[in-house]
């Protein structure tokens, strides 16, 4: 795409209507939030979400934050608790994301949470983000609207510099007021974990909670490596670049290889990305080792291979057990 093929939409009813039309057909639209510009896609559409990773050229799949217009809508997608209620009442709309368990029947594409059973969700305060979410009437998955490894954009011009020609449009809402990504908190039981410092100071959160936030390192003890806060890994072992299943294995196919579960019979890497975590979950539930067909290292194939290689690598827990 030529850089000029990315539409610049004005913050008026026509601009919003065009943004909604583009999102509705699976295109990507960057939009302003009070923190940074987000690169939005319909969070229910796996292929659209896969497009986010392709446009950003991300070498791996990180879970994304879902944006909704209000607390009531958030509660459709995640299992709510008292701590979440107190934080949302105090800070939403605003620069705070909450990580909570996904609710059954949530309808969010599995690529959004990178296969985790939790979801990061927030209610942005920027008026244009609010208008877009209400007009689109569906949750938007949105990471910061910059190419992977570059700094987060706080103006529409920054977005165009980084992603011009790679996305459908940018909704121009001027400069972002906060300029730092949202603070991410995981309310758990009686406590809460600070998963990422950001635009809302931890002290303000602690003042509302009346107790200290735990830090992520308190939690990622080596006793639970498969439970790392931000990575889903199958319980079963994985064998890569397999042509077929051996005895005791189930097969995950790609393109012409594999007549059962197949990431994309057409060999389409975006489709494969959209299916990746769903298919791994399905095969993992069968409790057998998983053999995976070769995936090309082009486009989203890099991120797919990155995730498969991490899943195939010996985990500390497994290695320790084997050493005993
Ligand atoms: O301010 C913001 O948060 C911006 C605007 C656009 O809303 N978005 C943003 O998204 O910063 P992104 O993709 O750049 O960062 C998302 C962060 C990642 O660090 C990811 O690991 C974490 O959220 N995250 C998402 N889902 C998670 C989950 N289920 N558990 C733990 N961490 C999660
Ligand atoms: Mg980012």
Ligand 2 center to residue 256 CA distance, Å? 35
Tokens 């229910």 found at: 44
The closest residue, in CA terms, to atom 13 on ligand 1 is 143
Does ligand 1 have an atom closer than 6 angstroms to the CB of 196?
yes
Is the predicted pLDDT of residue 324 greater than 60, yes or no? no
Over residues 277-320, the pLDDT tens digits come to 889 989 989 999 999 999 999 889 988 998 899 888 776 555 44
Identify which of 33, 100, 120 to mutate to test ligand 1's pocket (most ligand atoms within 8 A of the CB). 120
- pLDDT score, position 234: 84
Q: If phi over 0 gives left and psi between -120 and 50 gives alpha, with beta otherwise, what is residue 111?
A: alpha
Q: pLDDT tens for residues 210-221? A: 999 998 766 544
The closest residue, in CA terms, to atom 10 on ligand 1 is 143
Give mean pLDDT, residues 184-209.
Answer: 92
% of the chain with per-residue pLDDT over 90: 76
Tell me: pLDDT of 222 over 70: no
- Higher-pLDDT residue of 219 and 154 is 154
Taking only the tens place, the pLDDT of each residue in 32-84 is: 999 999 999 999 999 999 999 999 998 888 999 999 999 999 999 999 999 99
* Residue of 309 and 20 predicted with greater confidence: 20
C-alpha span between 173 and 12 (Å, rounded):
10
By CB atoms closer than 10 A (0-12, 13-18, 19+), residue 61 is: buried
Ligand 1 pocket member 187 (CB < 6 A): no
Task: Give 77 Cα–ligand 2 centroid separation in angstroms.
Answer: 22
Per-residue pLDDT at 271: 94
Ligand 1 pocket residue status of 35, Cβ below 6 Å = yes
pLDDT tens sequence across 233-271? 788 899 999 999 999 999 999 999 988 899 999 999 999
Instruction: Give the pLDDT confidence of 99-120 residue by residue, as tens digits.
Output: 999 999 999 999 999 999 999 9
198 closest CA partner among 18, 65, 109: 65
Distance between Cα 103 and ligand 1 center (Å): 19
Pocket perturbation via mutation, ligand 1, pick of 29, 63, 119 by most ligand atoms within 8 A of CB = 63
């Amino acid at each position: 795409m030529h850089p000029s093929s990315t539409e610049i939409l004005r913050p008026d009813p026509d601009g919003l209507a065009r943004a909604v039309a583009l999102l509705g057909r699976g295109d990507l639209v960057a939009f302003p939030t009070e923190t940074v510009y987000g690169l939005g896609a319909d969070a229910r559409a796996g292929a659209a979400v896969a497009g986010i990773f392709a446009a950003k050229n991300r070498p791996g799949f990180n879970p994304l934050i879902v944006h909704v217009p209000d607390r009531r809508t958030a509660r459709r997608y995640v299992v709510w608790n008292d701590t979440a209620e107190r934080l949302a009442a105090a800070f939403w709309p605003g620069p705070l994301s909450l990580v909570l368990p996904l609710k059954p029947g949530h309808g969010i594409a599995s690529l959004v949470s990178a296969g985790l059973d939790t979801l990061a969700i927030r209610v942005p305060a920027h008026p244009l983000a609010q208008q877009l979410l209400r007009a689109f009437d569906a949750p938007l998955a949105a990471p910061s609207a910059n190419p992977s490894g570059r700094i987060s954009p706080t103006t529409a011009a920054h977005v165009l510099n980084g992603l011009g020609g790679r996305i459908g449009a940018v909704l121009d809402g001027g400069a972002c007021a906060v300029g730092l990504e949202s603070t991410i908190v995981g309310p758990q039981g009686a406590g809460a974990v600070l998963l990422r410092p950001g635009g809302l100071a931890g002290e303000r959160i602690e003042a509302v909670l009346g107790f200290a936030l735990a830090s992520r390192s308190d939690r990622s003890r080596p006793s639970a490596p498969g439970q790392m806060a931000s990575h889903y890994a199958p319980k079963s072992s994985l064998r890569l670049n397999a042509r077929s299943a051996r005895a005791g294995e189930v097969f995950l196919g790609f393109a012409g290889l594999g007549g059962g579960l197949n990431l994309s019979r057409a060999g389409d890497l975006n489709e494969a990305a959209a299916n990746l975590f769903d298919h791994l979950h399905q095969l993992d539930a069968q409790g057998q080792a998983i053999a995976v067909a070769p995936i090309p290292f082009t486009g989203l194939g890099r991120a797919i291979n990155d995730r498969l290689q991490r899943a195939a690598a010996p985990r500390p827990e497994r290695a320790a057990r084997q050493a005993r």
